[in-house]
Amino acid sequence: GDVNGDGLDDVFIAALRASPNNNPSAGSSHVIYGRAGGLGADIALASLDGRNGFRLDGTSAYDLSGAAIGAGDINGDGLDDMVVGAPGANGSGNYSGISYVLYGERDRVFRDGSEDQNIDQRYPRLAVRESFIGSAVRWQNGATCHCDDPPFDLNLYNNGGNLNFFWPAAGIEGGVAVGGLYSVLQPGAVVGPASDFSTVGDSTATANWRAGADGYLGFRYVNADSGLVTYGYAHIRSTAPTGFPIEVLDVGVNLTGQAVTIPSP
């Protein structure tokens, strides 16, 4: 069945005698996402990481989870669901068994063999408020606010009459910069692990954007859903000489954690 809704059938593998978490014969079930062109000849089940598939473990010894596996659209949402039987589980009595139903969920990154080019787009269309608090955007979903607080990722605000960037979330956050100045990137630029990132918050660092620009700010953040360091770009249009008025038009992120190439509009 196709449990992640990418149009490709997935593979279910049961290991009912597996002993996850030191529970003898609790059983494990593995789901391997289908790929255009087919799967390789050898698949390491231990390599399933949520992007290429996942594993379900029985909860107690001798559950034998995975002894029966089925798929079909149970809840009528157009996506295949997964049923896993554990005949040894103590549901309503000793060895009465339990069946688990996992609803399919559409994967926003299609597993088509070129995941490094899959980009998820958001359209905040944020007209930044020209004030000391300013406005902010969240890379995770494109949400915006006239605030400077987490979980928003980039806060754009006016300090001393000039544009400043502030990164409310702690950790890996940051924007692509060269020589301490935030870069104005153009289509074809690559944002990824090899990029240099900065979180400098003074107006000197925004000089390229204060000069007036129509380009892209590369960034990175930690995806709250996957836990992956995620790379992306924000299309921003600013005005000389202070940077204001300024708009954040659209945002693109690569949900796989790979580097992303800014496409042509």
Number of domains the chain contains: 2
The fraction of the chain above a pLDDT of 70, given in percent, is 92
> Does 201 share its domain with 236?
yes
Residues 71 and 199 in one domain: no
Q: For residue 27, which of 75, 61, 50, 54 has the smallest C-alpha distance?
A: 61
Q: How far apart are CA 176 and CA 156, in angstroms?
A: 15
Over residues 59-80, mean pLDDT: 83
**Residue 78: CB atoms within 10 Å:** 10
Query: Does pTM surpass 0.85?
Result: no
Based on the fold, state whether residues 207 and 191 are members of the same structural domain.
Answer: yes
CA angle (114, 142, 135) in 5-degree steps? 140
pLDDT digits (tens, 9 = 90+) for 128-141: 999 999 999 999 88
Is 62 in the same domain as 75?
yes
Non-local CB neighbours of 7 within 8 Å, separated by 6+ positions: 110
Handedness of CA 106, 112, 114, 117 (dihedral sign): negative
According to the model, what pLDDT value does residue 111 have?
Answer: 53
Q: Looking at 60, 81, 113, which one is the last position of a domain?
A: 113
* Mean pLDDT to the nearest integer, 37-52: 78
Q: Which domain holds residue 251?
A: 117-261
Q: Are residues 57 and 69 in the same domain?
A: yes
Q: Which residue has the higher pLDDT, 256 or 28?
A: 28
Higher-pLDDT residue of 101 and 196 is 196
The tens digit of pLDDT for each residue in 72-121 reads 888 887 778 888 999 998 888 888 888 888 887 665 555 555 555 567 88
